[in-house]
């Protein structure tokens, strides 16, 4: 997920996507633990997407407080 895509989302969409990705990461960890995960890089990408979404949400919050 690119930052441009995230910026275009509404705050509610960002929160929902963050929740969805967090749940997906939880499931990926289980798959990795039992050896079913074929591509461990998916975990890394999911973590980065969550971080990008949280960063965008935080930036919006701070921008709203200073205005």
- Give the chain's end-to-end CA distance (angstroms, integer): 28
On whether residue 52 sits in a domain, the answer given is: yes
pLDDT at 1 (0 to 100): 82
Please give the residue range of the domain that contains residue 21. Answer: 14-60
Q: Is the dihedral of CA 55, 3, 46, 48 positive or negative?
A: negative
Q: What is the pLDDT of residues 15-24, one digit of tens each?
A: 999 999 999 9
So what's the pLDDT on residue 65? 81
The answer to whether position 4 is within a domain reads no
Is the pLDDT at 55 greater than 70? The verdict is yes
Is the pTM higher than 0.85? The answer reads: yes
Residue 41: inside a domain, yes or no? yes
CATH number at residue 28: 1.10.287.310
Instruction: Give tens-digit pLDDT for 12-51.
Output: 999 999 999 999 999 999 999 999 999 999 999 999 999 9
Residue in this structure with the two tokens 């690119």, named with its chain if needed: 2
Output the pLDDT for position 67: 61
CA distance 20 to 67: 30
Number of independent structural domains in the chain: 1
């Amino acid at each position: 997920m690119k930052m441009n895509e995230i910026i275009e989302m509404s705050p509610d969409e960002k929160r929902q996507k963050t929740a969805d990705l967090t749940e997906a990461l939880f499931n990926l960890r289980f798959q990795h633990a039992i050896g079913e995960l074929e591509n461990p890089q998916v975990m890394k990408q999911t973590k980065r997407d969550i971080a990008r979404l949280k960063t965008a949400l935080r930036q919006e919050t701070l921008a709203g407080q200073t205005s």
